Amino acid sequence: MRPRIYLTQPIARSAIERLEKVADLTVNNDPLHIVTQDEMLKAARGHDIIFCLLHDKIDADVINANPNLKAIASMTITPADIDTAAATARKLPVTVIPALLLNDATADLAWALLLATVRRVAEGDRVMRGGVFPGSQSSYLEGGTVSRKTLGLIGVGGVGAAMAQRARGFSMRVIYHDPRRLTPDKEHELNATWMPFDEVSRTADFVSVHVQLTPDTRHLIGAKQLAWMKPTAYLINSARGPVVDELALVKALTDKRIAGAGLDVYENEPRPHPELLKMNNVVCTPHMGSAVLELRESMANVVVDNILALLEGRRPPNCWNSEIYN
């Protein structure tokens, strides 16, 4: 009997074709429909493997719904919305994708948010579509500048390093905070200077967040950290939503304690705080940092690589809870 795989949303055709050669595949073909809890439970009961995406929540009820469930194959770097403890208790592998795949695409989007926010690009687009064309030297849409300003990075893994590299093209000063300081050679390569967290926040014209979501980084940016920032500074978050206390951010923006924000991620996705969507000095995108055609195809095929290894009785190359194999 062929294994049964449930795919929670459409992915690249090349990845689907690989799966269809070895398994019976059921797909939710609507890219705008996020599988509900009831649908996920039903899928778990009727399939051997769940192929899920970043926005999917796989809790203990789903994991325990089928004693014959073989694996959770996720197309995410960190399975924050999967109950990995419940999976590990069952010795059920949870597979992920390597972080380095997303470095450039995420940095590109973070840079786009930075530029769009400070130069009021999204606001200008809305004005144009509303039939308003201010004079070409009107002060109506005057914004800030990026060139020769200071970029402050919170976290300098792959994406943070990619941001530092992009900053060179704008002649920016780069400062950063990371609990694990870079080597002197790497600091020289990136032209980046380590500072304490509060000093980065107080000094930077743009504070860009690039940390993984863990219990320690939840609300890493809160009221205190936002108060450190200059009133002319901007916050950019393309990492994970809960890293920023969204209520504190709304208050800081409302009170004009910071100049604006560019956000691709939100604390309670898919529902950002409604006030954020009303603010002209906030640019919002719907968690689309990896939304690059070629990248998404590569990501999907990495998940397929993990699944094929499982079906062949091999240890998957990207297993999050690898301790189950000890």
- Contact call for residues 94 and 318 (beta carbons, < 8 A): no
* Overall size of the chain counted in residues: 326
Confirm or reject CATH 3.40.50.720 for domain 4-96+293-321, answering yes or no.
Answer: yes
- Contact call for residues 221 and 154 (beta carbons, < 8 A): yes
Active site residues: 240, 269, 287
Which H or E element spans position 284? strand 282-284
Residue 55 reports pLDDT greater than 90: yes
Least confident segment among 105-109, 136-140, 173-177, 265-269: 136-140
Please state the domain extents for the chain: 4-96+293-321, 101-284
Q: Tell the residue number behind the tokens 């769940």, with chain if given.
A: 50
Is the dihedral angle over the CA atoms 262, 115, 142, 285 positive or is it negative?
A: negative
CA distances from 239 to 126, 202, 235, 291 (A): 26, 21, 12, 14
Six token digits for residue 231: 């009133």
Residue 151 reports pLDDT greater than 90: yes
**pTM score of the predicted model:** 0.92
Contacts of 7 (CB under 8 A, 6+ apart): 16, 19, 25, 26, 27, 28, 51
Q: What is the DSSP letter of 158?
A: H
Mean pLDDT computed over 41-70: 97
pLDDT one-digit tens code per residue, 220-268? 999 999 999 999 999 999 999 999 999 999 999 999 999 999 999 999 9
Which superfamily is assigned to 101-284 in CATH?
NAD(P)-binding Rossmann-like Domain (3.40.50.720)
pLDDT one-digit tens code per residue, 100-135? 999 999 999 999 999 999 999 999 999 999 999 998
CA distances from 95 to 69, 276, 309 (A): 14, 34, 11
